A = this chain, B = another copy of it.
């Protein structure tokens, strides 16, 4: 269509930082009608895309541009992580309103370039246009060894369910950013882990790679809409049910004060809070100990058992002796989901 990013646009927007870390298979990057890259022997390709729109998916009034640049890339890297893949290439389309400050865009680009570099990812294409709403569409291409990708549809019954970090943190962080006045009495240590999770989430790429290579994980996805919804995807696609125990959900203590101020229950944020970008996965029967030992040995980071798959269907939460159906009860109160 219209001319692709020229080297000149590139230098202007990304200060020449298109990344040269992973250029092994790259024949032609930015500057022609298409980018060209080679196959990777027996490895499979992965591709994912997300579109982010101002006032729908982010708010410039509190989101520093460099962190938003990082997050725009991170949320797509998280999809690669959720398959157990390794990221390689990115395409970035940007629609810029006329009144946007050049410096804001430069900082966004610097943040995006940082995140791409951190994960060895090369920017190989994109499109820049005028638009009324500030809009970013990111594509990440990655790869995984043949037979090592982890789908959502392959969980079995009677398997333990794990997550890679605290749940509900990003949702709490969003509320704090929206109404900072409400949280003036809190300490920096109380608020920062929550705010950081909203502003600057880290995709669990390294953990995903270890889990995929282990052969011991049966199903996986990332937590973007809250475990109630994301676990329901795994259950529906795998034809199993799941039981999650409230007492096992990690990070509750970090949420207690904030939830009192928000007048909501901790467990509500934990099961239906979106955008944590932690990994959610099931371990094949009898492999828990081996996998946890492997993670310790390879530095995969802490993971937490939160429940178990069962025969049947649905996602149930065990809470105070009661069992409640929570399947697909997403992050309703923000109006942020498309």
Report A's interface with B, CB cutoff 8 A: 1-4, 6, 27-28, 31-51, 53, 55-57, 75-76, 78-80, 82-83, 85, 89, 91, 93-96, 124-133, 135, 137, 139, 141-142, 144, 146, 149, 151-153, 221-222, 224-225, 229-230, 233, 237, 274-275, 277, 337-338
Contact = CB atoms under 8 A, between A and B. Distances in A.
7 contacts: A32-B152, A33-B221, A34-B142, A36-B46, A47-B124, A49-B93, A49-B137
A83 B93 CA distance: 20
Copies in the complex: 2
Contacts of A229: 3
Nearest to A152: B32
Contact of A151 (B32, B78, B141): B32
Interface of A is mostly: mixed
B2 A337 contact: yes
Contacts of A274: 2
Contacts of A132: 53, 55-56, 132-133
Contact of A50 (B2, B151, B237): B2
B47 A35 contact: yes
